[in-house]
Structure 1
Amino acid sequence: MKFYYSNNGITVKLVRDIRNKNPENECPLRWRVTYKRDSDYYSTGKVLDREDWELFEASEEADFNFKTKAAHLREHKDDIQKYFDDILKPAVKETADNFSFAALDHKLGKSDILTVNDAFTAKINTLNNTFKVGNATIVISKFTMYKKWQC
């Protein structure tokens, strides 16, 4: 079963990330989002070995019933399908007109940093929470200069 979606120059595809094998030769399944030849990968939380991945890709919806070779992959397929239809596709659709990976991360709940002000504030809070007050002061001064430069 192939998962693929395209909208406004943004493509989403389910891939098996062979760069990160575990000791059992299982590789994580990831969503590859590509825009203007730049790609970012989002984890599905699922791993498959090569044989199961080939079976998963070659199977159709009916192949995931209880009497076929792909039946043991039904749970993976259901979880991936639900995330794809309910979360990922709508998020890409909403950000398609003014797409950026930061906006997609924000829409998917992966990041609450959407603007430069958010980034400065998050960095200052992190430094203060880890008792790096001197570094936080430097970032605050840069943030102040940035605010003045914006005006």
Structure 2
Amino acid sequence: MRQSWSDVTEIYNGAGAYRFGMSVDEARHANVDSVEVFVGFSARLPHLRRLVHVSGYRVGGQAPAWIPWSEGRRARTYRAVAAWAASKMESGALLQTRAETLGVRWTIVNPATVIGDSVSGEADHADGGGGPGTSRDRASPHRAAPARPDWQSGR
């Protein structure tokens, strides 16, 4: 391990991708394969205390016992929900399984709130406002309140 990584004690992983209409391959590469890499890298850090994985809204709670997902389970899940959501579900279970196997202490954070247009997903205003009838039009300040995350933690 290079000297520059030897004193790392925490990793916060927010890597991944989100886009409406992602293909299964694109979503799995960005969100499942990247978790495999992060957990493997984390396991090689001699002073790591915890890997914190910031995942997605409403995708937590997947049973790690199902890893690796069978082709049938993968096909059913990716058919039932958007590829992005399915890939985040699969990656959460993968993270738990691989981290436990490699002895990496882990935490998964699933944000409780997201903002964005329901069609495009765009969040074009830093304060969450914009468009007819919104707080921006009424000139009242609108700020997203911090939400309590859905915490999952290992060890």
TM-score interval for Structure 1 and Structure 2 normalised by the shorter chain: under 0.3
Q: TM-score, normalised by structure 1?
A: 0.25
Q: TM-score, normalised by structure 2?
A: 0.25
Looking at CA atoms only, which structure, 1 or 2, has the larger radius of gyration? 1
Higher strand share: 1
Q: Which has the higher contact order (CA 8 A, sep 6+)?
A: 2
